[in-house]
Amino acid sequence: MEIEDLTTGEIIEEPLKRGKMVITALDRIGQPCIRFDSKDIIEWDPNPCPCGRTFRLIKGGVLGRADDITKVKGVLFSPLSVEEVVRSIDGLGNEFELIITKEGDRETLHLRVELLPEAESQQEFLKLRLTDALRLKTNLSYEIEFHPYGSLPRYEVKAKRFKDLRKKD
């Protein structure tokens, strides 16, 4: 297994640098798998396995998908990371919409999230918590809007929750 840089395609050896997982499986008899691009985003763990195993480890498992990755404000961004944060905070519903817009050179991330009825009194606290968690996870800032539970559209496919309205140059 190798980790390939998302932009340059170079092989990443150093830990804590994210890239695409590329797999070569020569043990398959009928059809060996050579440099299969899984499109999964991973990073090497800098720490050895506590059991003493000498193989390199992946830190935190699969962190996202390369085919979902886009660049926002100069940062590689995966909408999956927003979903993980939203669903980890008690008081927020599971439905959300993430919309990226661009005016001039300014890109803005608009996050619309459902607020559970029992958490309406905690709206300011939840907004601060969500803002901090998103900043830590994605290194980006968001304009956050809370909506009543059940008011956002229900999507079957996660990709529809993410809307990139920037004009492609």
Element (H, E) at 131: helix 123-138
Q: Is the pTM of this model over 0.75?
A: no
Distance CA 102, CA 100 (A): 7
Q: Which sequence spans correspond to the domains of the chain?
A: 2-67, 70-164
Chain segment 105-137, per-residue pLDDT in tens: 899 999 999 999 999 999 999 999 999 999 999
In whole angstroms, give the CA distance from residue 17 to residue 34.
Answer: 23
- List the one residue out of 11, 5, 37, 10 whose CA is nearest residue 24: 37
- Strand residue runs (E) in the chain: 2-4, 19-25, 33-42, 64-65, 70-72, 75-77, 92-103, 106-115, 143-148, 162-164
Considering only CA atoms, which of 116, 78, 118, 117 is closest in space to residue 98? 78
Confidence of residue 11 (pLDDT cuts 50, 70, 90): very high
- How far CA 77 is from CA of 83, 109, 143, in Å, comes to 12, 11, 16
Which class for 20: exposed (0-12), middle (13-18), buried (19 or more C-beta within 10 A)?
Answer: buried
Structurally, at CATH architecture level, domain 70-164 sits in: 2-Layer Sandwich (3.30)
pLDDT, tens digit, 9 for 90 and up, residues 17-71: 889 999 998 887 778 788 888 888 899 999 988 898 888 889 888 887 777 778 8
DSSP 121: G
**Contact by Cβ (8 Å): 142, 109:** yes
